[in-house]
Amino acid sequence: MAGVGARTAYPRLVPLSPDAFYAHALAAADAEQRLPLSRMTGWEISPFEQGGLTVAPLRPPVLPEPPRHGEDQADCGTCRRRDEGIWLDDRWRLSRVPGVGVPLALMLHPRDHHDLADLPDELAAELGVLTVHLARHIQALPDIARAHVYRIGDGGAHLHVWFFARPAGQSQLYGSWLVVWDDLLPEYPAEIADADAAVVARALAASYGGIARTGESAPTGEA
Ligand SMILES: [Zn+2]
C-alpha cells in the first residue's frame, strides 16, 4: 500500500533533541552563527530589503525554558481582568488591543484560567464558533479585507487569541509579515478603532449572545 514504507520507517527515526536541532541549524549558518537571508525576506512583500539586512546569531537552546507569565494561576494578570472587555459572556471575554498599527486588533480570552491544550471540549467548541463569528464581523467592517487569527502562547500561559484586521488593498500586509508591518506602522487612530471594536462587539452579541459593553476599551499587554 502507498505510504506504508514511510510509516514503517518512522519508528527508526528519532526527533531532534534541542541540542541536535541547534547543531542542525548551525550547519547552515556562518562562523558567527548567522543563518543566510532566505525565503521570507526574499518575498516581495517583505517589509525589509535584503541589502544591509543581517540575521542575528542563533543562540543555543535554553532549558528548562523560563516560565511564561501566569504559569502559576495565582500570579495571572489575565485572571485579574476576568470582568473586563468590550464583550463578555459567562465564559469568554473580548478586548481591543490598543496601540497597534493595523485598523483593529482584538483579543479573545476564556474568563477562567485555561491554556489552549487544556481547554475543556465544551469551551473548545465555543472557541471555534466565536472565532468564526468574530472573523465574519471583522471582515464586515468597511475597508477591512481579512481577519487574521493567531494563537501563539509563548508569552502568557492564559489562552489569548489575537484577531488582526488587515486593511483592504494594502497588499504588502498579506500573510505572516502582517504582525511585523503592524509593528512598523504608526498607531491607527484610537477613536476609529474603538468605534470599529464596538461594531464588532454589538454584532457578536447579536449573532452569538453575551453582552457588548461599547464605549469601554480594556487594556491588555500580552505576547
Ligand atoms: Zn489566568
* DSSP letters for 177-193: GHHHHHHHSPPPPHHHH
Quote the number of domains for the chain. Answer: 2
- Per-residue model confidence as pLDDT tens digits over 123-156: 999 999 999 999 999 999 999 999 999 999 999 9
Residue 6 lies in a domain: no
**Average pLDDT score, the chain:** 92
pLDDT band at 38, cuts 50/70/90? Answer: confident
Coil, strand or helix: which one is 125?
helix
Distance in Å, CA 223 to ligand 1 centroid: 14
Residues 143 and 193 occupy one common structural domain? yes
Q: Which three cell numbers stand for residue 28?
A: 547552515
Distance in Å, CA 15 to ligand 1 centroid: 32
Residue 93: φ, ψ to 5°: -145, 150
Distance in Å, CA 216 to ligand 1 centroid: 21
- Per-residue model confidence as pLDDT tens digits over 50-108: 999 999 999 999 999 999 999 999 999 999 999 999 999 999 999 999 999 999 999 99
Residue 166 lies in a domain: yes
Residues 42 and 77 occupy one common structural domain? no
pLDDT band at 220, cuts 50/70/90? Answer: very low
**C-alpha to C-alpha distance for 71 and 105, rounded to whole angstroms:** 24
pLDDT band at 218, cuts 50/70/90? Answer: very low
Range of the domain at 47: 16-65
What kind and span of H or E run contains 18? helix 18-26
Distance in Å, CA 19 to ligand 1 centroid: 32
Residues 144 and 39 occupy one common structural domain? no
Distance in Å, CA 23 to ligand 1 centroid: 36
Considering only CA atoms, which of 149, 127, 129, 128 is closest in space to residue 138?
149
Residues 56 and 81 occupy one common structural domain? no
pLDDT band at 12, cuts 50/70/90? Answer: confident
Residues 207 and 159 occupy one common structural domain? yes
DSSP state of 81: T
- Per-residue model confidence as pLDDT tens digits over 94-108: 999 999 999 999 999
pLDDT band at 221, cuts 50/70/90? Answer: very low
Residues 116 and 207 occupy one common structural domain? yes
Q: Which of 65, 98, 124 is the last residue of a domain?
A: 65
The pLDDT of residue 73 is: 94
Residues 58 and 108 occupy one common structural domain? no
The pLDDT of residue 13 is: 87
Distance in Å, CA 139 to ligand 1 centroid: 29
Residue 157 lies in a domain: yes
Residue 47 lies in a domain: yes
Residue 7 lies in a domain: no
- Amino acid at residue number 70: G
pLDDT band at 9, cuts 50/70/90? Answer: low
Which residues, 6+ apart, have CB-to-CB distance to 156 below 8 Å?
68, 69, 70, 78, 222, 223
Farthest CA pair distance, the chain: 61
Residues 59 and 80 occupy one common structural domain? no
Residue 46 lies in a domain: yes
- Amino acid at residue number 174: Y
- CATH number, position 175: 3.30.428.10
Residue 223 lies in a domain: no
Residues 201 and 145 occupy one common structural domain? yes
Residues 52 and 126 occupy one common structural domain? no
Whether residue 112 is predicted with pLDDT greater than 90 in this model: the reply is: yes
Residues 89 and 155 occupy one common structural domain? yes
Whether this model's pTM surpasses 0.85: yes
Q: Starting at the edge strand that comes first in sequence, how are the strands of the sheet with 161-167 ordered?
A: 144-150, 161-167, 104-110, 92-96, 87-88, 211-212
Distance in Å, CA 85 to ligand 1 centroid: 15
The pLDDT of residue 219 is: 43
pLDDT band at 10, cuts 50/70/90? Answer: low
Residue 58 lies in a domain: yes
Considering only CA atoms, which of 172, 104, 87 is closest in space to residue 144?
104
Q: Which three cell numbers stand for residue 70?
A: 501566569
Whether residue 3 is predicted with pLDDT greater than 50 in this model: the reply is: no
Distance in Å, CA 222 to ligand 1 centroid: 12
Residues 157 and 179 occupy one common structural domain? yes
Q: Which three cell numbers stand for residue 145?
A: 479585507
pLDDT band at 207, cuts 50/70/90? Answer: very high
